[in-house]
């Protein structure tokens, strides 16, 4: 059941889940649960899958404010 790893993660890693980040945190738990060692997935396979999910996305930053 997916709820047990979520409960453990909230207690151990996140300490709390904020409403603004709920979707992102649940997506991370889903990825971890779906790509766990119990299903025969190795660390290398998990890393490859994570990199495949990044393709086509870019990290953007806010533009810096101009000095007055």
CA 61 to chain centre: 19
pTM strictly above 0.75: no
b/e per residue, 36-59, with b = 16+ CB within 10 A?
Answer: eeeeeeeeeebeeeeeeeeeeeee
Tens of pLDDT, residue by residue over 5-19, are 677 777 766 677 778
Tens of pLDDT, residue by residue over 36-49, are 888 888 889 988 88
- Listed by start position, the domains of the chain span 3-40
Among residues 44, 63, 16, the alpha carbon closest in space to that of 6 is found at 16
Please report, for residues 15, 63, 64, the alpha-carbon distance to residue 67 in angstroms, rounded to integers and kept in the order given: 38, 12, 9
């Amino acid at each position: 059941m997916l709820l047990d790893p979520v409960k453990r993660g909230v207690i151990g890693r996140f300490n709390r889940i904020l409403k603004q980040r709920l979707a992102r945190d649940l997506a991370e738990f889903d990825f971890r649960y779906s790509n766990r060692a119990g299903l025969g997935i190795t660390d290398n396979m998990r890393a490859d899958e994570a990199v495949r999910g990044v393709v086509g996305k870019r990290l953007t930053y806010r533009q810096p404010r101009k000095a007055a």
